[in-house]
Structure 1
Amino acid sequence: MYTMPYRCAIVDDEPLARELLSNYLSKMEHMELVIATDQLHTVMELVNERAIDLILLDVNIYGRQTSGLNQLLKNTDCRFIVVTAYPLASLGDIPLGGRHGYLPKPVSFSRFKDQVTKMLKIA
């Protein structure tokens, strides 16, 4: 039986974090990395074209919180997993839960796989 892959994007300003998350995605079935970048606006174009199913997103890129993040999370069908070194309590009003998840850095493969599986409801 053929299953369409989940199309994923990684947005992080740390090259090592992008590499680690890319490696983790490659270990999971039905996952396709579309783009790994530090440019959220590029990924948002893909989201608007419905070319991305899941975004692994660092909320602080180059030392500042990603602008428009709350609007972005509320106004798209795409699922997000916030991947950050900041504790959950410091994320304020970012709407996590339901379609959006949270992974604290450093990210282990086990926690990564659990969170991605939960967000996409794949077993």
Structure 2
Amino acid sequence: MTQASSDSVNRRDFARTIAAATAATAATAATAATSLEPASADDKPSKPSKPKDPPEPPPPAALLLETIRQRYPDKQLDDQEVLQGIYSELRGDLARSRRLSSFPLKNSDEPGFIFSAFHTSD
């Protein structure tokens, strides 16, 4: 059998992905089924309830930190001080990237480099 490439997904990762997708689909289907059930005759018409605001998503740095923990498991990542240090660095990196991204560039902007031909002395 040929050697698998390093980018291929192994069987365990594939099984985890399929299990997560199946669980998410089942949870979504169960939620949809309960919301579509007709009201029984005993139910009194109630006031229309306000739709609940969806929970606020976690900050991007927290999502990146969790991705790092899952992708690179290590005992050092169980320490809260280490995690806090990584989290603060991620927040700083994201703030710098937002600041750089907000700088307006035109299509004609180029890196500032100086080219000079090298002449050998003959």
In the superposition, the TM-score normalised over structure 1's length comes to 0.21
Greater share of helix: 2
Larger Rg: 2
Higher relative contact order (CA 8 A, sep 6+): 1
In the superposition, the TM-score normalised over structure 2's length comes to 0.21
Greater share of strand: 1
